Amino acid sequence: WDRHLEYILTCSSFVVGIKNILQFPTLTAKNGGGAFYFVYLLLVCILGVPILYLEMCIGQYVHGGPMKAWTVMPLAKGLGYGMLVLCTLISMFYNTYSAWALFYLFSSFSSTLPWEANQADWDIHTSIQFCIYSCSEDMLDISSGLGDTGQVQPYIAGCLFLTWVVVGVAVYWGRISVGKVAYVTGTLPAVLFLAIFSGVITLPGAVSGVKMFLTPKWQVLGKPQIWLDGVLIVLTSMGCGTGGIINLSGYCHFHSGCFRNAVLTGISNVMGCTLAGCSMFAILGVYTQIIQQPINTFNISETEIGFHLFPAISFYLENSAVWSAIFYLSIFTTGIGTQIVFISTVYTGFSQLIGVHTTLWKISSLVFLLSVLYLIGLTTVTQAGLFVITYLDEFIHKLSIPIFCLLECLIITWVYGAQRFHNKVADMTGSSEGPFIKWMWKVICPVFL
C-alpha cells in the first residue's frame, strides 16, 4: 500500500457493504429493534473483531491471499480453494445490487421519476402504494417465482455491464488503484447517508422509527433466532471467511499492527450499520405513520426497503429526484467498494492457479474472468433474478461463511497450535495482545460458530 490509510479505507469499504445498508435494518426490525442492535454490538466484539484479527494476521504473515495462506498447511489447502469458490459465487450476484442502484440512479435524472404518482386526487396512502407497486412491477419487473424466469431486462443488464467495467478497471491496476478508489468508496457513502438522514428525519414518523431502532425489547434475547441472525449479519457484513481480508492484509508491511487494524475495521462496520439503521428506521417510521401500522407487525426484505419503499418515501421530500440520486449513488459506491475486494481476491487466486506473468496474460485473464462472471450474472437480471439472488444468498453465502470461519479457528488453534501462532504474531507485530485473544480464537469463537 502507498499509505496505511489506504489499507484501512479499503478494509472499511469492504466491511461496510450492502449488507449493512439494507439487510441489517430489516433484521433489526424483525428481531425487536434495539435488542438486535445490542446483540450485534456484542457479537462484533466477541466474534467479528477476533476473526478479523485472525485473518489479518494470516494474510500479513504469508504476504498473500487465501490460496497462498493455506498452502503452509497441506491439510488446510482445500480451505483456500473453498474461499476462492465462495468469493466467485458471491461476486456473481453481489454486483446485481450495484446494477439495480445504477439503474435507479440513471432513472433519477429523468424529468419525471418513473415511480412518481401523478394523480393529484389520490391521498398519500394510495400514492405510496402506487409508488411501491410501480417499483416492483415497472422498474425491477419481478416475476411470480423462480420457475417464471421471464426475459433478461436489457437496461439492468447494461447497468450490470457498466459495474463490471468499473470493477475491472480498479482491479487491473492492483492495490495501487484499489487504495485510491477507497478514498471514495470508504468515505462518500457515509457523507451521503448523513445527508439522507438529515432529510428524512424531518418527515412525520421518522423520529419514532429511530426510537424503535434504539429502544431494546430485552425479552426477545431468549429467542435463538435473534442470535443466529446476529452471527450471520456480523460475519457476512464483515466478509469473514471469504478470504477478502486475508488478501488485503497480504499487501501490508510485515510489522503493521494487526490488532489496531482489526479494531479500526470493526469500528467502521459498527458506524456503517448504525448510520444505515438510523436512516432506514426513519424511513420505516415515515411509512408506518402513513399506513398506521407498527413496524414490528410486518416483514420487509432488504430489496423492498431499498428499491421499493425509499423511492415512495422520497417522493414526499422536496426535490425528490435529488434525494433519490443521493441514495442510489451511496448504494452504488458501497456495493462497488465491496465487490472490488471480492474480485481482487478471486483474480489473485485465479492468477496463482494459471500462472499469470506477462501484461498480455494479465489483461486477457482478467477480461475472461469478468466476462464469464457477467454472463453467468445475467441470470440475476432476469425477471426471476431476485429469487436467484435470494437462493444464492441463503444457501451458499450464509451457509458457507460460518463453516469457513469455524474451520479457520479450529485449524489455526487446534491443528497448527494456538500458542505457536500466537508467538509468530508477537514476532511479526512486536507485541502480544495477551492470552485472552488466544482463548477467543480457540474456544469462544468456535462455540458461537
Annotated binding site: 16, 20, 237, 269
- 231 contacts 448 by C-beta, under 8 angstroms: yes
Burial class (CB in 10 A: 0-12, 13-18, 19+), 327: buried
Q: Dihedral of CA 428/434/439/444: which sign?
A: negative
The closest of 440, 349, 448, 441 to 402, measured between CA atoms, is: 448
Please give, one letter per residue, the 3-state secondary structure of the chain: CCCHHHHHHHHHHHHCCHHHHHHHHHHHHHCCEHHHHHHHHHHHHHHHHHHHHHHHHHHHHHCCCHHHHCCCCHHHHHHHHHHHHHHHHHHHHHHHHHHHHHHHHHHCCCCCCCCCCCCCCCCHHHHHHHHHHHHHHHHCCCCCCCCCCCCECHHHHHHHHHHHHHHHHHHHCHHHHHHHHHHHHCCHHHHHHHHHHHHHCCCCCHHHHHHHHHCECHHHHHCHHHHHHHHHHHHHHHCCCCCHHHHHHCCCCCCCCHHHHHHHHHHHHHHHHHHHHHHHHHHHHHHHHHHCCCHHHCCCCHHHHHHHHHHHHHCCCCCHHHHHHHHHHHHHHHHHHHHHHHHHHHHHHHHHHHCCCCHHHHHHHHHHHHHHHHHHHHHHHECCHHHHHHHHHHHHHHHHHHHHHHHHHHHHHHHHHHHHHHHHHHHHHCCCCCHHHHHHHHHHHHHHC
Grid coordinates representing 327?
Answer: 441514495
Annotated binding site for Na(+): 16, 20, 237, 269
Report the alpha-carbon distance of residue 248 to residue 65 in Å, rounded. 8
Report the alpha-carbon distance of residue 140 to residue 153 in Å, rounded. 8
